[in-house]
A and B are shown apart, each in its own frame.
Chain A
Amino acid sequence: MAFASAQLFDAAFLESLKHLRLVARRVPAGGRFAEQRSVDSGGGIDFKDFRPYAPGDDFRAIDWNIYQRLGKVFLRLYEELEDLPLYLMPDVSRSLFLEEPPRVIAGLRTTLALASISLNHHDKVGVFPFSDEASTLWRPQAGASKVMLLGERLATLEPGGTTDFRQACQYLERLRLRKGLVAIVSDFFDPAGMDAVAHALKTVRHRLLLVQLVRSTDREPTVDGEVRLVDCESGSAHNVSVTPRVRERYINSYDAFQERLAQTARRLGAGLLQIDVEQDIVAQFAKVFEKGAYRVA
């Protein structure tokens, strides 16, 4: 069930992305989540260090003042500011296509919003959707003008299978991408459980931004009475008598899941951002940036 591009990214949303980019632009240097100082010295403007001249070095970097004083040739090193590649991993498992409105809309809009901000800062953006297996939808590339094209590609995504973080993270690692920021947009409902999710995230050598797609009924479901609950991904069914006591235990279990996810994010130094799928995505992002900055780590 692919979405029409116009349906997924309507005019109002695309218009609001401009506002989001403006808001993001006001974030001071060093505040962008996709900006990093490179370990390499280069042609930046901030002085970093000196080192002895070696054959083949750029003569323009020789500090002639030191040569006059010490009679030795040293090179003046400046910090090289590099962009931080953003690797977006939207979850397209079946669970994101359930309910109304489906979470996948919010997930893909979030993906495009993050991509739009990064591309606007000339960062490279790659998109690797996943469910029970991951794939490359958009190879890492820069260019602010490619936002619309990326949007069209996102709209072609079809529902996948179950959510499998282990497979998704292994796929990402196999790509051997330049170190960057991995933004995982998902509900994090992996049938293997939160332990499997945490274990898989540990294998990611990039910085992590976890964007959790939530809705109010996740914590307080509306189901009541005698129900047969069918997991939309695994197809497993469970007959449940939803009593106040059961409902209370459910909430406890959900809260524990949330706590575990937050704990995992803290341990991995990852950012955790909750997006309410029933609210306006851009407005929620704008609120984040209006605070000044959003640092992953």
Chain B
Amino acid sequence: MTLTNVSPWGFWMGCAALALMLAVLQWLRTRHRTVHVVTTLFWQEAMEESRARVFWRRFRHPWAYLLALLIAGLTWLAWADPRPEREGAVETVILIDGSAAMMVGDRLAQVREQVMRELRRLPAEHRRVFWVGGQTTLLLDRGEEALLLEARWKGRQAEVAPSGIEQACLALSSEAEARPLQLVVAGNGSLGDDVLTLLPEDVKVLRLVNEEEEAKPSNTGVRALGMAATLGNPETVDVWFEVDAPMSEVQVKVDAKPWTGALNERQPGRVWCEAVPARGGRLEVRLSNGGALSADDVAAIQLPWRQRIRVSVSEDTPLPLRRVLEADDAVEMVDAEADVTVGFTTSDGIPSLVWDETGEAFVFVSEEAQAPESLHALMGLDQIDTVGLAEQSGRVVRLQVETGPTRRAQLWPQLLSQEYHFIQSSAFPLYVGQTLRWLAKVPKVDPYVAAGETHPRLKAAGVPFALPRAGDYEDGLGQLRVAHLSGDPLSSDKGSEPRVTTLSGAIKGGSWATWLILVVLVLLLGEWVLFQNGRMP
């Protein structure tokens, strides 16, 4: 048996205090009130004389004392709210859903009320509370006072983030090896059957539900937002979006000004804004009537800053390289004010592409250290015939990354001659184009970024990860805007989850407290009867 509201030590201390208090009361009770009467004749015949005031005689009615102590002790025990040992040893983890779905109405406020109510019923040593929003945060640890939760919850709002309940359940399920685990979902985050089947058998999943049935909210929103480079025009991008609302309710703005260009529905459900100037602005798609959830009524994307790369080439530039440069729409051949020089370097810090026999086959100099592997793939070098080149040149073909004040790309001059087949390979124009863009620091067009979804550009220790919530982020390549959530947050509202027990009342039923109170009432009744019969003082 474990106690919910008080520690065992506190319980026994309370019992001792009660026993002492009742003993004192018993002692006080025998301090008779003095009453002067005209005669004691009749009392002498009738009375049961109390004992003299000595300690060992004080408990003249030990059974009455024990009965009072039993009643008080049981009442105290009922307040302590004892639970069976098996039930009490269960670790209960309350997962508060802080995802976008909780933005609807006063869902979060109701959940808060429920959690605070249920928390008082749980033994403090066996319960924790997690906030599961964009990130999972421990709000209340084992043994901490429930009041702390109120303070820590204060100011928290649901986040524009997908539900993380499933991930949290999976992460916490490993704790079930140590003791039985009870996961209590407070909120609307769904639990798919595929996730539930992954949970160990001794993990019990419960869900707190509102006593008042909530009508299924209707919702429309921006479901996807992305962009791609415009073919043939390096200074614009094509932005696309998906909505589940009539187009009449859709407003597109670029830097707060309505988009006057064409909106083409190239594919069903996907609308394109073509040739949007890539001048670093912000394109926003907004629904005039988005339904229950306002968080997905608007999505925005950060437009890149793109312009033609002004390239100044030396006169001795090999013809194949010159032709590739001239064929690139993003390149503008200039004589002065170049962004990138080809074949020569300058002293005023202009990035350059040069050829030199010394050093490795491909050398990249950057202001900051970069992983060779990332540049290798970025420049398309993973598509060249390295072995063939090595055989032809008799040298090891390797990529070298250095740091320096000015960006620079260097390769063997032989690679640009007809001597090797590098210029004939499909990797050559790719290398030239990517190298020029790297040298000119042309921002990359991110086709699609959504909260909760992984993206190639987002990696941690080489592993793709998902940003938890929509919003603006900064990474090494510039500003990144997580435009929106993927999909309708409300479509993942709790459904019929066969393995999830829904509770509208206490997390655990069948408290012993009720039975203890009944026993106390019976004892009180018995005491009253004894008193009425004159058998109880």
User: What is A's interface to B at a CB cutoff of 8 Å?
Assistant: 95-96, 98-99, 103, 187, 189, 191, 193, 218, 221, 223, 225-234, 236-250, 252-254, 257
- Residue of B at shortest CB range from A236? B40
A231-B46 CB under 8 A given contacts A243-B534, A244-B534: no
A252: chain B residues at CB < 8 Å are 46
A214 CB to closest chain B CB, in angstroms? 11
- Alpha-carbon distance between A37 and B148 when the two chains are bound, in angstroms: 103
* B533 proximal to A (CB < 8 A): yes
| Cβ contact within 8 Å between A227 and B32 | yes
Summed over the interface, the residue pairs from A and B with CB atoms below 8 Å come to a total of 115
| Cβ contact within 8 Å between B39 and A231 | yes
B41 CB to closest chain A CB, in angstroms? 6
| Cβ contact within 8 Å between A246 and B33 | no
**Pick from B34, B42, B536, B537: contact of A250, CB under 8 Å:** B42
A158 CB to closest chain B CB, in angstroms? 18
| Cβ contact within 8 Å between B43 and A189 | no
- Residue of B at shortest CB range from A93? B38
* B177 proximal to A (CB < 8 A): no
A285 CB to closest chain B CB, in angstroms? 23
| Cβ contact within 8 Å between B46 and A228 | no
**Pick from B29, B34, B38, B535: contact of A95, CB under 8 Å:** B38
* B49 proximal to A (CB < 8 A): yes
- Alpha-carbon distance between A231 and B41 when the two chains are bound, in angstroms: 9
A228: chain B residues at CB < 8 Å are 32-35
| Cβ contact within 8 Å between B33 and A230 | no
| Cβ contact within 8 Å between A189 and B38 | yes
A191-B48 CB under 8 A given contacts A228-B34, A246-B534: no
A96: chain B residues at CB < 8 Å are 38
B165 CB to closest chain A CB, in angstroms? 62
* B47 proximal to A (CB < 8 A): yes
B51: chain A residues at CB < 8 Å are 239
Interface residues of B in 1-46 (CB under 8 A from A): 29-46
| Cβ contact within 8 Å between B50 and A230 | no
B93 CB to closest chain A CB, in angstroms? 55
- Alpha-carbon distance between A252 and B534 when the two chains are bound, in angstroms: 15
| Cβ contact within 8 Å between A253 and B42 | yes
| Cβ contact within 8 Å between A244 and B37 | no
* B358 proximal to A (CB < 8 A): no
**Pick from A98, A226, A229, A257: contact of B43, CB under 8 Å:** A229
* B260 proximal to A (CB < 8 A): no
- Residue of B at shortest CB range from A234? B40
| Cβ contact within 8 Å between B42 and A254 | yes
A248: chain B residues at CB < 8 Å are 46, 534
| Cβ contact within 8 Å between A99 and B38 | yes
A246: chain B residues at CB < 8 Å are 46-48, 534
* B218 proximal to A (CB < 8 A): no
B378 CB to closest chain A CB, in angstroms? 96
| Cβ contact within 8 Å between A229 and B37 | yes
- Alpha-carbon distance between A234 and B42 when the two chains are bound, in angstroms: 14
Specify which of B39, B42, B49 lies most central, judged by the most chain A CB atoms within 10 Å of its CB. Answer: B39
User: What is B's interface to A at a CB cutoff of 8 Å?
Assistant: 29-51, 531-537
- Alpha-carbon distance between A236 and B41 when the two chains are bound, in angstroms: 11
B30: chain A residues at CB < 8 Å are 226, 239
- Alpha-carbon distance between A247 and B31 when the two chains are bound, in angstroms: 20
B46: chain A residues at CB < 8 Å are 246-250, 252-253
Q: Would you list 22 pairs from A and B whose C-beta atoms are within 8 A, ordered by A residue? A: A187-B39, A189-B39, A218-B38, A226-B29, A226-B32, A226-B33, A227-B32, A229-B43, A230-B37, A232-B36, A232-B37, A233-B38, A239-B30, A240-B47, A240-B48, A240-B49, A243-B531, A246-B534, A248-B46, A248-B534, A252-B46, A253-B46
| Cβ contact within 8 Å between B39 and A233 | yes
Extra A-B contacts (16), CB below 8 Å, given A231-B39, A254-B42: A189-B41, A226-B30, A226-B537, A227-B35, A229-B40, A229-B47, A230-B34, A230-B37, A234-B40, A236-B40, A238-B43, A240-B32, A240-B43, A244-B532, A244-B534, A247-B46
B38: chain A residues at CB < 8 Å are 95-96, 98-99, 103, 187, 189, 218, 232-233
B49: chain A residues at CB < 8 Å are 238-240
- Alpha-carbon distance between A234 and B472 when the two chains are bound, in angstroms: 99
| Cβ contact within 8 Å between A95 and B534 | no
A225: chain B residues at CB < 8 Å are 33
A198 CB to closest chain B CB, in angstroms? 14
- Residue of B at shortest CB range from A189? B39
| Cβ contact within 8 Å between B533 and A238 | no
Specify which of B43, B533, B534 lies most central, judged by the most chain A CB atoms within 10 Å of its CB. Answer: B43
A231: chain B residues at CB < 8 Å are 37, 39-40
| Cβ contact within 8 Å between B33 and A227 | yes
| Cβ contact within 8 Å between A230 and B36 | yes
- Alpha-carbon distance between A218 and B534 when the two chains are bound, in angstroms: 21
- Residue of A at shortest CB range from B31? A226
- Alpha-carbon distance between A139 and B533 when the two chains are bound, in angstroms: 56
Specify which of B38, B51, B532 lies most central, judged by the most chain A CB atoms within 10 Å of its CB. Answer: B38
- Alpha-carbon distance between A204 and B299 when the two chains are bound, in angstroms: 121
- Alpha-carbon distance between A238 and B36 when the two chains are bound, in angstroms: 10
A253: chain B residues at CB < 8 Å are 41-42, 45-46
A227: chain B residues at CB < 8 Å are 32-35
**Pick from A98, A232, A257: contact of B41, CB under 8 Å:** A257
A103: chain B residues at CB < 8 Å are 38
- Alpha-carbon distance between A271 and B276 when the two chains are bound, in angstroms: 129
- Alpha-carbon distance between A96 and B37 when the two chains are bound, in angstroms: 11
A209 CB to closest chain B CB, in angstroms? 22
B43: chain A residues at CB < 8 Å are 229, 238, 240, 250
| Cβ contact within 8 Å between A238 and B42 | no
Specify which of B42, B45, B49, B536 lies most central, judged by the most chain A CB atoms within 10 Å of its CB. Answer: B42
- Alpha-carbon distance between A236 and B45 when the two chains are bound, in angstroms: 14
- Residue of A at shortest CB range from B536? A243
B36: chain A residues at CB < 8 Å are 98, 229-230, 232
A284 CB to closest chain B CB, in angstroms? 20
A265 CB to closest chain B CB, in angstroms? 18
**4 closest Cβ pairs, A-B complex:** A245-B534, A249-B46, A228-B32, A239-B50
